[in-house]
Structure 1
Amino acid sequence: MTGASLWPSYAGPADLAAIEAVPLAERGLPESTYALLRRAAGWWPEHPATTVLPEAARWREPVRRTFAELLAEVHRYANLLRDLGVRRGDAVALLSPNCADLVPATLAAQLAGIAAPLNGGLSHDHLGELLRRSGARVLITAGPELAPEVWDTARTLAAELDVVLVLRPTGASPAVPAIEGVRVGDLAELASTMDSSGFAGEPPVASDLAALFHTGGTTGAPKLAAHTHANEVADAWMIAANSLLDVGSVVFAALPLFHVNALVVTLLAPLFKGQHAVWAGPLGYREPALYGEFWKIVEHHRIAAMSAVPTVYAVLAQCPVDADIASLRFAMVGASPLPAAVREGFQAHTGVTLVEGYGLTEATCASARSFPDIARPGTVGQRLPYQRMKVVHPETGEELPGGETGVLAISGPTVFPGYVVGRDEDGYRLDGLGKLRDGWLNTGDLARLDADGFVHLAGRAKDLIIRGGHNIDPALIEEALLAHPEVTAAGAVGRPDEHSGEVPVAYVTLAPGATATEADLLAWAADRVPERAAVPNAVTVLDALPVTDVGKPYKLALRADATRRAIAEALAPFDAVTVDAVIEDGTVVAAVTLPSEVDEPKVRATLGRYAVPARLTFGETS
């Protein structure tokens, strides 16, 4: 199916109503991610599908695959997984930085079973727990030549596995390192004799699980969110429906494939229009050398669009544009709030518009998008077609009138079926864990909706600062500080207080060469924060604000720092007492070490004045 039924006009916010006048079921979407790939290979067999760079310094030596070649490789890998015993309800874990073979391996895992991508930057305990929860007995992982630290991690997880399939660079030695008690083999070598013309098993259907993605881990141990094939195909179509990118356009991909943005935005969505995805090397945007070569790569490949987090654009705004980048139509940004200084700096430096988006793993990936030629300041975009949104009261769950701020809720074809909480003979047991109610997903994000369906975010519900029973939106403080010309990022959190429960404090980063002091910024905020109770008690300058492994703001770390400072100040009269603050299951705990001669009851009495869980241990006598 082609033409208007598959690709309606979608260039501006006014197009939404016309798009939704046609039911999604009549759009002719493929049954699964595999069916999507097969269709792309049938329509554009010789068109380039993926180009993967080995590293920034060798970007002119990539591995390229056409759509037909990508499909053939997926068939080989999926047939190998089937030979190894993987069936429709079985997870295949993937633990590797981006590389040429990880792309078909991920699609093959969704064809033969269920893909379970893992972030190698997580702790071994978290990875082990995610692996056990997924039930995966087969792991596809980077070998020692590609990523030695990831290989070491894979070895520590081997006790949970039956088979380890290794991704290796071209030219690696023939021998694959052994792991006692586990079958280990080179993925490409073992798959080389497999049938490339088709899949030997039953292909997946729309309701089958396609992937298990762990969440960002901003509140303790990551959870494992299930996606169906229907979820992923629908969300990818909503992104691909963008009328600004034509068939054959080139997109740049550098986010890790354990992130839903990388999978849905830069792998699946391009399959809908035969678009060419150029992938950065294993380190992606974390490779410093990439920035020195970036504009040359854009010129060489005629990149039309890219996707990244705000910190990437802050760096690119400092990189001289030493190439012709006229092909770059727009740059997508998400995962964390976009500071005005970053937006203005990047756009002034490059002439390229930053297009904000909004989404979360539990809604597959993207739920709102902006339009490069139609500015709507203060929003992260309009809801995507066929996704419904409403704003509800944080406590009662009742829908609020239009324009009021509450918790954003989403329903529609991209909402996930739940988190993995167990497994039995019927497959995975899934549970919304309080986030799903009558088909509506509670995002945990504070927002308001305007009449055109644009989302105005106002922070995380759990990030509310509660001062003496009064709720303070941290966005009030952050927006005031971000208006300072030298502030590039800001985060406001509650600091424990014995009188008010919490008081607001803020953390910021500054532009290179900035001269503003913490006192200057505190005075700036006092003049501009519109609510007296929200004026921060302190502003602390950091080199960088903490983020999760996928680039989202990690406010728990800021709350931990604020807690440590508050408790240390309260216990300062006690000699030789040391204070730390640790994060345990999403809660900040004050860890206090006492010398043996300290008056423990008085310390406990002091701690009792703060609504902070505390753990006391005794150190050596001073």
Structure 2
Amino acid sequence: MTEDLLWPDYATPDDLATIEAVPLEARGLPESTYALLARAATHWPDRTAVNVLPDATRWREPLRRTFAELLRDVHQYANLLRNFGVRRGDAVALMAPNCAELIIGTLAAQLAGIAAPLSGGLSRHHLAELFRQSGARVLVTAGPDLAPDTWDTALALARDGLLDTILVLRPTGAAGTPAPLPAVEGVRSGYLSELAAAMDPSVFEGDSPRSSDLAAMFHTGGTTGAPKLAAHTHANEVVDAWMLAASNLFDPETVVFAALPLFHVNALVVTLLAPLFKGQTVVWAGPPGYRDPALYGEFWKIVEHYRIAAMSAVPTVYTTLAQCPVDADISSLRWPMVGAAPLPTAVRNGFQAHTRASLVEGYGLTEATCASARSFPDAPRPRAVGQRLPYQQMRVVRPAADGSWEDLPAGETGLLAIGGPCVFPGYVIGRGEHGHVLDGLGKLVDGWLDTGDLAGIDGEGFVYLAGRAKDLIIRGGHNIDPAVIEDALLAHAEVTAAGAVGRPDAYAGEVPVAYVTLAPGAAVTEDDLREWARERVSDPAAAPKAVTVLDALPVTAVGKLYRLALRTDATRRELLAALDEIAGVRDVEAMIEGSAIVATVKVSASADVAAVKAVVDRYAVGWRLVVLS
């Protein structure tokens, strides 16, 4: 490949047409994520690939791996997996908080077979279903000294007969002899790094993956209660990573900070694969990542010490960082990236005023590999989440009753659809004679991905989101299926109907709340029901913040639950509570306009308008102000 073709000039929105004048296949991208790593090890063998922090307090004591060392480690881990019977079409489950061995293990799983990252916070029922769907019989997981709860879950899954092999991870930089592992009948187990030490580090002993082979399966909440596994090919991941790396924002000297969990596509594509293209160093946070309160007290010192230039996080992280006193030189921080949830204006303005660093907003979803659009700090477009990435196709459509799509002109709002090389091949629904069976499950229409999002696209390819056609609640970038909450509430003998929606939240973007109707004569209270649901939902993040009893739930003309009306009520209640202490606020109304919710804040002439604006701007909500006479 030629570097001229690999790296087009990509600095402004105007560069998109010139980039796409060259066919993507002429760019000479690596065949697989393994080929991408091997290329980095050839180009920059002695450059630091990763600095992995043991935890937030020991950020001066990283475990360091050069690109050449990282490749050797991946060879050893992949050869071990092969020795345990893993072949190209076999899934390897990985369930652990971030650590040095998990980074290596994820790349090795994609080399030997297919990586299936899992969140250890999922319920055992959901995890068992994901194991059955993927067919994974090998689990790479946290040991008792890394994450005791995850280790207990892994043992329980093994005792349930779901596993043949458990390969155990230790904390980053762990020293000394680890504790003996308990025996589980019929299950092989051992510490991954110890077992891999005997493997050949010079070469992978199996066949290298091809671009069309599956690289990973990521679990996603979807729009039903059942967990789903979205499949990614090697081409999906390599192309999406290249689209991000191609930006002129990032050069080989750009040091990247990573703290999202590796079961999240953003952590894999944005902070592991994309930096391999230009040989960038990545600093990985300790196991809790952004969920570690101690990290925020040390964060600016970490930025100064490692000269962090780029990072990727959800809006809640930037809300917290905007409250942390800057106690170090953070002039290196140029490109903090944000996505996975709507970005309120106040969060953007607050972080940028606090740090003088411009947020780079993005839009994407697991079914489109990761990123599909990005913003340009030097060419802002108010209200847009960004311009589509090169070679990503986007269209706005109006679905017809017969399932066909009518294209809408630029600027009109409709259902956003994505096409191109990053669209996933489908969800894993089982295994057949020739490998995993994939199905779009209604999300793929003639190769186009139905995102479930409502949006408009202008003539330059900038995307303007206008709400969600789908029902998912997105809490700080974490997808929550409302059915999980509704099922828990409907299990109560006195609940006759239930509906869960997202309520705007100044910190998390949205939090789940629920509405119910009760049987005649019911004595249960709203607080009782909130506690009932908290004890029964499988995901702690899905526990509703409030449960409201109504005489009847709103329904559509055909009798279906009208969630938009519930979201409207939740919006009004939240803004009323937030504005309660500001004198002169008379009322808040929330109305459905088109497919979006718009709040009207009514104030007296004496009200402090600036104070009202400061409060409402903390939410990702459209609103207007009316001054009453």
Could you tell me the TM-score, scaled by structure 2's length? 0.78
1:179-578 to 2 correspondences below 5 Å: 179-181=183-185, 182-216=187-221, 219-395=224-400, 396-463=404-471, 489=509, 497=552, 501=556, 502=562, 503=565, 504-507=568-571, 516=580, 523-525=587-589
Would the aligned equivalents of 2:316 and 2:509 in 1 still touch at CA under 8 Å? no
Give, as a single letter, the amino acid of the residue that structure 1 aligns with 2:335: F
Which residue in the other structure is 1:164 paired with? Answer: 166
Deviations 1:22-50 (A, max 9, x none): 00101110000000000000000000001
User: 1:59, 1:453 → 2: CA distance?
Assistant: 41
Would the aligned equivalents of 1:339 and 1:488 in 2 still touch at CA under 8 Å? no
User: 2:146, 2:595 → 1: CA distance?
Assistant: 54
User: 1:23, 1:455 → 2: CA distance?
Assistant: 23
Would the aligned equivalents of 2:144 and 2:151 in 1 still touch at CA under 8 Å? yes
Q: CA deviation at 1:521?
A: 7.4
Q: Does residue 165 of structure 2 align to residue 101 of structure 1?
A: no
Q: CA deviation at 1:4?
A: 2.5
Give ranges in structure 2 of 5+ residues lacking alignment.
474-501, 516-549, 557-561, 603-619, 621-629
Which residue in the other structure is 1:173 paired with? Answer: 177
Give, as a single letter, the amino acid of the residue that structure 1 aligns with 2:167: L
Which residue in the other structure is 1:25 paired with? Answer: 25
Distance verdict in 2 for CA 1:521–1:152, change over 3 Å: farther
Query: Over aligned residue pairs, what C-alpha RMSD do you find?
Result: 2.9
Which residue in the other structure is 1:91 paired with? Answer: 91
Give, as a single letter, the amino acid of the residue that structure 2 aligns with 1:458: A
Q: CA deviation at 1:202?
A: 0.5
Deviations 1:198-234 (A, max 9, x none): 0000000101100011114564232101100010000
Which residue in the other structure is 1:120 paired with? Answer: 120
Q: CA deviation at 1:12?
A: 1.1
Give, as a single letter, the amino acid of the residue that structure 2 aligns with 1:407: L
User: 1:209, 1:343 → 2: CA distance?
Assistant: 37
Which residue in the other structure is 1:14 paired with? Answer: 14
Deviations 1:305-330 (A, max 9, x none): 00000000000000001110111112
Q: Does residue 62 of structure 2 align to residue 62 of structure 1?
A: yes
Aligned residues: 522
User: 2:227, 2:471 → 1: CA distance?
Assistant: 18
Would the aligned equivalents of 1:341 and 1:488 in 2 still touch at CA under 8 Å? no
User: 1:205, 1:229 → 2: CA distance?
Assistant: 7
Q: Secondary structure at the match of 2:427?
A: strand
Distance verdict in 2 for CA 1:273–1:222, change over 3 Å: same
Give, as a single letter, the amino acid of the residue that structure 2 aligns with 1:343: R
Q: Secondary structure at the match of 2:384?
A: coil
Q: CA deviation at 1:491?
A: 7.2
Would the aligned equivalents of 2:579 and 2:585 in 1 still touch at CA under 8 Å? no
Give, as a single letter, the amino acid of the residue that structure 2 aligns with 1:280: A
Give ranges in structure 1 of 5+ residues lacking alignment.
466-476, 540-552, 554-622
Deviations 1:443-477 (A, max 9, x none): 11111101100010111103499xxxxxxxxxxx9
Stretch of structure 1 that moved more, 488-497 or 370-379: 488-497
Q: Secondary structure at the match of 2:407?
A: coil
User: 2:507, 2:198 → 1: CA distance?
Assistant: 57
Distance verdict in 2 for CA 1:499–1:525, change over 3 Å: closer
Would the aligned equivalents of 1:136 and 1:161 in 2 still touch at CA under 8 Å? yes
User: 2:367, 2:390 → 1: CA distance?
Assistant: 17
Q: CA deviation at 1:510?
A: 8.5
Would the aligned equivalents of 2:257 and 2:310 in 1 still touch at CA under 8 Å? yes
Give, as a single letter, the amino acid of the residue that structure 2 aligns with 1:164: I
User: 2:351, 2:310 → 1: CA distance?
Assistant: 15
Would the aligned equivalents of 1:490 and 1:509 in 2 still touch at CA under 8 Å? no
Q: CA deviation at 1:399?
A: 1.4
Would the aligned equivalents of 1:363 and 1:416 in 2 still touch at CA under 8 Å? yes
Which residue in the other structure is 1:40 paired with? Answer: 40
Would the aligned equivalents of 1:410 and 1:440 in 2 still touch at CA under 8 Å? yes
Would the aligned equivalents of 1:50 and 1:65 in 2 still touch at CA under 8 Å? yes
Q: CA deviation at 1:498?
A: 5.8
User: 2:572, 2:333 → 1: CA distance?
Assistant: 31
Could you tell me the TM-score, scaled by structure 1's length? 0.79
Would the aligned equivalents of 1:489 and 1:509 in 2 still touch at CA under 8 Å? no
User: 1:538, 1:322 → 2: CA distance?
Assistant: 38
User: 2:406, 2:63 → 1: CA distance?
Assistant: 52
Would the aligned equivalents of 1:211 and 1:226 in 2 still touch at CA under 8 Å? yes
Q: Secondary structure at the match of 1:221?
A: coil
Would the aligned equivalents of 2:587 and 2:601 in 1 still touch at CA under 8 Å? no
Q: Secondary structure at the match of 1:398?
A: strand
User: 2:48, 2:572 → 1: CA distance?
Assistant: 43
Distance verdict in 2 for CA 1:532–1:431, change over 3 Å: closer
Q: Secondary structure at the match of 1:157?
A: helix
Deviations 1:34-78 (A, max 9, x none): 000000000000000011101101111111100000000000000
User: 2:130, 2:426 → 1: CA distance?
Assistant: 15
Q: Secondary structure at the match of 1:422?
A: strand
Would the aligned equivalents of 2:315 and 2:508 in 1 still touch at CA under 8 Å? no
Give, as a single letter, the amino acid of the residue that structure 2 aligns with 1:105: G
Q: CA deviation at 1:132?
A: 1.1
Give, as a single letter, the amino acid of the residue that structure 2 aligns with 1:523: D
Give, as a single letter, the amino acid of the residue that structure 2 aligns with 1:505: D
User: 1:89, 1:360 → 2: CA distance?
Assistant: 24
Distance verdict in 2 for CA 1:530–1:408, change over 3 Å: closer
Distance verdict in 2 for CA 1:5–1:521, change over 3 Å: farther
Would the aligned equivalents of 2:240 and 2:369 in 1 still touch at CA under 8 Å? yes
Would the aligned equivalents of 1:155 and 1:179 in 2 still touch at CA under 8 Å? no
Give, as a single letter, the amino acid of the residue that structure 2 aligns with 1:38: A
Would the aligned equivalents of 1:492 and 1:506 in 2 still touch at CA under 8 Å? no
Stretch of structure 1 that moved more, 240-249 or 329-338: 240-249
User: 1:519, 1:221 → 2: CA distance?
Assistant: 47
Deviations 1:81-128 (A, max 9, x none): 001100000000000000011111000000000000001111111011
Would the aligned equivalents of 2:361 and 2:374 in 1 still touch at CA under 8 Å? yes
Q: Secondary structure at the match of 1:93?
A: strand
Would the aligned equivalents of 2:237 and 2:422 in 1 still touch at CA under 8 Å? yes
User: 1:162, 1:393 → 2: CA distance?
Assistant: 48
Which residue in the other structure is 1:614 paired with? Answer: none
Distance verdict in 2 for CA 1:145–1:194, change over 3 Å: same
User: 2:514, 2:456 → 1: CA distance?
Assistant: 23
**Percent identical:** 67
User: 2:378, 2:125 → 1: CA distance?
Assistant: 46
Give, as a single letter, the amino acid of the residue that structure 1 aligns with 2:21: A
User: 2:74, 2:598 → 1: CA distance?
Assistant: 56
User: 2:66, 2:25 → 1: CA distance?
Assistant: 29
Distance verdict in 2 for CA 1:499–1:86, change over 3 Å: closer
Distance verdict in 2 for CA 1:18–1:283, change over 3 Å: same
Q: CA deviation at 1:11?
A: 1.0
User: 1:223, 1:464 → 2: CA distance?
Assistant: 14
Give, as a single letter, the amino acid of the residue that structure 1 aligns with 2:11: A
